[in-house]
Every structure is written in structure tokens, then in C-alpha cells.
Structure 1
């Protein structure tokens, strides 16, 4: 069982599964990774006698990965023993495509996921920050030969407890050629990349789109900056693509949400499309010490809604950002309204002088009064009562200084991929 919001798909039991543990830090999104503290806690509780031993260390009072990776053999076949259909986050305590984890180990895990989907109807989500390695591994025919081998071995070692689906087991044998074919690719596994800002989106999303997959997803968490999924940096145009003598060498951009639609930022009119696209986007602001902006979330939701892509917002993070509702004649704001219905007016607070000073001069985020914080760029932040608020608690707009909650902004588009909704409907109809 897991409390992770995006695992609670309709018709499924939410689950996390960690056949491997251990990782290392590769980008800013890893800085406050919850898995590091959780791994250290498990190691302490087991007194170093678990597979988590040696995966973390303390640096300046903070838990960080050591880079060690370990496979939990006793966890590997867990999904084959689960009866009720589950929506599974695979490797919440690691990265399946971490460079220190060998390809044969990846193949064993993929084989189990394929069998678990065929036997039990489980659906798996795999997230990585190493999109290039995912693309390389899943595009290699030799990898699928390994998967085929492990499927055969697992079928010999495991038996169907109900002894009713032997036909499924025989028909599940997958050749490398079948695995690399078009359409219906590996049903039951959603491959995705984690991106925290535009730089990481530009780096990882093109690899995801080039990876053969049944469904693709993006985890925008922790969201540390605005992301435009409709304008992802791709490769530069070649001379042939630009039309020979009219070669501009312009940067090529593509939409991750609309069949890989492309456009050139140079002087030519080169366009293209017809490729893969993203099926699902979910995300949240950081629950650590890096406050984000709610408009980043609203913009992501709008991009997904306009392209018919499922979008699920997980959490608002540690801070709520106030929207200025009144300002002095020089434009300096003095009153803010927050998504939880509270207001802050520096003229009504006993520390209004401190607040004004902090808003004008602080270099970062500064505590000014109780749950109120100020940022030097003129923003006011509030520590919420809990780490997250439901999507319904976010305002859709402002009128006369009052927050409008009439239309739940984050429920205006599908929250789950259509393929998952259809699977749930088929299962319900077959009961």
C-alpha cells in the first residue's frame, strides 16, 4: 500500500514495489529526495542487516546516497503473489536505469512486470531521471532476448495459484521482434521521466518520446521552475531538412503533447510531426525548503487540457503563494489573498514594517511573522496547515480581491490516462 496520490487510479489498489534500492544525485530535483531519508531510517531500524545497508551516509548533517545499489531478491516476485489488481510505482526507492544497475537486473524486473500484468492485471509506472539509458536499453533487441529468457525461467519457477491461466502463460512468450513491434507495446507498463524544470525537460523528454512504450508519462515533481511541454528543445536541423542552400541551422522545437509536432526557430519554415506524445502528466511543488509558484502548475494544467492529455496535481508544497489584491499608488503591494481563504495586509499586522522591509530587500525567502514568509521579489508566502491542499482548494481567479472557487481548476481535465480508465471499465464490466 502507498499514499502516493497518483497511484490511486480508479479500479486499482495503490502500491509501491522496490526490487532494488540505492541511487545517486543527478540533478537539482534530487536534492531533497524523500527516498534518501527513508532509506537511512530503514537501515537504522534494521541495524544494518537489510539490503539498505550502506546505501546512504551523512554529509553535513544531511542524508545523501552513497551510490551503492542492491537488489532485494525476496521482493522480486511480490507482484506475482498479489491477487487484487494494483497500480504500482516501481522503484520508488531507486531508479531502474541507474547506471550502477546492470542490464540483466533490469530485464528480470521487466519480465516480472510483464507476467504480473498478464496473470493479475497489475499496471506498473516506471520513472527515471536517466532517459537516455532507458531509451538505449529498451530499444536494444538483445535486451528483449534477456527478458524473454527470464520470462521463461519465471514461468517454470512460478505457478498460477488458481491453476486457471496456463494458456495465458504459454501465449505470453515474447520474442525480441514482437517486443520491438508497433502498437500495443508492452501493455501494463507506463514509462516516464521525472523533470523539475525546463532544462531537465529538454534533456529527458526527447528520449522518452523516442522510447517504444504502451503509455508515456511525465512526473513534474518537485516542480522547481516553469515548464513548457509544447516547446521542448530537440536537435538542430540538418542542411537537408532546411532545404540545402537555405540552411539556417536553427534550433528545432517540438511539442511533447501533440504527436511530436515540430517547428524551427531559425529562418526556415521546416515543420514536422507524426511522432509519439505524452499520455499523462502529474506533478507537485516541493514539500521541502524551495517554494514554487502556483502559476507553474496552472500553466501545465492548461497545456494538458488543450491537448487532451491527462493531468493530476499532487501537492502545493510547503508554501502557498499569495496573490496581491491591493497596492500603493507606486504599485507596491500591501494586501495578499491566499488559496486557503486567508488574507494578509501589512497595514493590519503588528509587524507591517518588517513585512514591507522584507518584501523590498530580502535576498531570499525570509520568515516575517508566524506562518508568513516574504521573498525579495515582492512575493508573500504562507506556510499551510498541512503540507498539501486538495486541488479544489486552489482559486481559479480573483474578483474584487475575493478568491473564486466556483470551478475546480485542477479537475477540468482527465486525471488518469484513457488507457487506465478503459482497463478499469473493462475489469468492472467483466465482473
Structure 2
């Protein structure tokens, strides 16, 4: 494929630029900012510089598109893991226009655009009410506040796939109102990705939060993808207390005795991706077509 992404729900990543500003609790331990600093780039500030990528790099999706066309299998491309395409920053305006042109040149790619700024999508994207069938649009919702603020803005976008990234999941979220199509607009969420936080300062995720999303998606027939536990994994024990290093208690009471779940810091790789003993890898089909009015 050419881009060895470690992100489980995509095939490749493309970053037209690096950098954006922190705007919500999910940004607190930003992995992209840490990655940029390791490469000597301080680009995650409100009015800071943004790092632009080379012309040679920009040609990479064209190669992916040719390869996907030859195999007859579309390739998923997450854009952008090191930025936010819909950030209102003067330095990225020209590059964003260039991105739209690149996307239109690559119909064999399934572009996955993920933003924490869905209120900017309509003004910044060029497709109005007729998005290309190969462009998916998503927003990050780490807690209930941002679910209620961001999802209504996302539902206004007439894209073939609308998705949510509930990662890092920092509290329980109720998505039920957004998973069943609105009877007036026909809009709903097609895909939910959930996961815990990784990195040195990662916060533990209550397993109950991931289960709630899984069960709500199952009930609505929505694709559910559990990406990772992150740094912390359930110990398999229910505990009343304890301050042992590398241990944490999370969440509201989970049983009739008021016990909470004990989480243990084991690292992302060892923690794995299994929720209640199984993988949850559901995703929209790569050939997802726009629903007609009669299907909505």
C-alpha cells in the first residue's frame, strides 16, 4: 500500500499539513502534537505555524488510486491524522483547496475526513449538498457535551458515510438519538469507532462506556468498531479501592455493591482490542452508495 499506518480502521493516512489547535478534552494528551515534537516541529498552537508537506508526498494518493483501480478494491485513506482539515487557519486555506482537487482526482480512494470542527464543514468543503460517493465525513465525540454539540452539525452533511470517532472515550455517551434516521431528513450516523487513550499520560476508559456504545449500535444496526483499550486494560477484577502504582478505578458503580472496575496499565499492545472477548471490526462497505430518497 505504501503507507504503513498503525490506525486499525483505515488502510493509509495522508496529511496535507501538520498542526492544529487544541479545542476540547480529547486534545489534552494529543498524540499528533507529541509526534510532531519528536520530529522537531512545534505546530499545535492556535496561531502557530503549520508544517506543509512536499509536492512528492502530495502525489502519493495518486499512486494509491492507480493501485486500487488495478485491483478493483477501493482503499480507505484517513485524512488527516496530524491535523484538522476544517481548522480555520489562514496558512492552510490554499492547501485545503488543493486537497479538494486531489480528492476529486482519486475516486478509487475512500477518503475519511475526521474533524473536531464540524460547524466549518459546509463553508469550507466545495460540494454543497451533493458530496462525492467516495468521501466519508466524521467528527470526534469524546464525551456527552461534544456529542450534543458536534453530531447535529455532522448530520447536516449529505455524505454517503457519516461516522463518529469516540476516542479517546473519556466518559459515557448516549448516542441513541443519533443512530436512528431522523424521519424528516433521513440523516443518521453510519459508523461508530470507539477506543481508549494511549500515550504516557493516558486516561483509563471504563469498559462500561465502550459496551454502551456497542449495544446502542447493535440495537440500531449501526457499524461498531472497537479500536483499542489504549494504555489501560481491565484487570478482570472488581475492586473497592487501592492506590497501587499502575492501577486505577474508573467509572460509576458497576454492580449492586457499588464496586468499580479495576484497570491496569499494561501498554497498548498488550491491552489489545478485544471487548468482552471478541473483536468488533464492523465498518461501512467500501462501495457504500448514497441512499435514495425512497430508502431514507
Q: TM-score normalized by structure 1?
A: 0.57
Q: 2:187 aligns with which of 270, 276, 283?
A: 276
Q: 1:70 aligns with which of 34, 51, 76?
A: 51
In the alignment, the residues of structure 2 paired with residue 115 and residue 107 of structure 1 have an alpha-carbon distance, to the nearest angstrom, of 13
> Is residue 20–residue 94 contact of structure 1 (8 Å, CA) maintained in 2?
yes
Matched, 1:94 2:75: no
1:286 Cα deviation (Å)? 1.4
Q: 1:34 aligns with which of 31, 42, 64?
A: 31
1:374 Cα deviation (Å)? 4.5
Partner of residue 290, structure 1: 203
Q: 1:79 aligns with which of 43, 56, 61?
A: 61
In the alignment, the residues of structure 2 paired with residue 38 and residue 320 of structure 1 have an alpha-carbon distance, to the nearest angstrom, of 23
In the alignment, the residues of structure 1 paired with residue 251 and residue 209 of structure 2 have an alpha-carbon distance, to the nearest angstrom, of 19
> Is residue 36–residue 65 contact of structure 1 (8 Å, CA) maintained in 2?
no
1:107 Cα deviation (Å)? 2.1
> Is residue 122–residue 128 contact of structure 2 (8 Å, CA) maintained in 1?
no
In the alignment, the residues of structure 2 paired with residue 227 and residue 376 of structure 1 have an alpha-carbon distance, to the nearest angstrom, of 12
In the alignment, the residues of structure 1 paired with residue 251 and residue 273 of structure 2 have an alpha-carbon distance, to the nearest angstrom, of 28
Query: Number of residue pairs matched?
Result: 268
> Is residue 103–residue 137 contact of structure 1 (8 Å, CA) maintained in 2?
no
In the alignment, the residues of structure 2 paired with residue 187 and residue 205 of structure 1 have an alpha-carbon distance, to the nearest angstrom, of 20
Partner of residue 259, structure 1: 181
Question: Equivalences for 1:395-410 in 2 at 5 Å?
Answer: 395=276, 405=277, 408=278, 410=279
In the alignment, the residues of structure 2 paired with residue 113 and residue 181 of structure 1 have an alpha-carbon distance, to the nearest angstrom, of 17
In the alignment, the residues of structure 1 paired with residue 224 and residue 54 of structure 2 have an alpha-carbon distance, to the nearest angstrom, of 35
Query: Equivalent residue of 2:228, what SS?
Result: coil
1:18 Cα deviation (Å)? 0.9
Matched, 1:306 2:219: yes
Structure with bigger RCO (C-alpha 8 Å, 6+ apart): 2
CA, structure 1 residues 300+373, in 2 after alignment: closer, same or farther (shift >3 Å)? closer
Structure with a larger share of its residues in helix: 1
Higher-Rg structure is 1
In structure 2, runs of 5+ residues without a counterpart are 69-74, 253-258, 290-296
Matched, 1:112 2:95: no
In the alignment, the residues of structure 1 paired with residue 124 and residue 175 of structure 2 have an alpha-carbon distance, to the nearest angstrom, of 25
Q: What do residues 267-316 of structure 1 show as CA deviations (whole Å, max 9, x unaligned)? A: xxxxxx33311111112011243212111111101111111111100111
Question: C-alpha root-mean-square deviation of aligned residues, in Å?
Answer: 2.7
Query: Equivalent residue of 1:256, what SS?
Result: helix
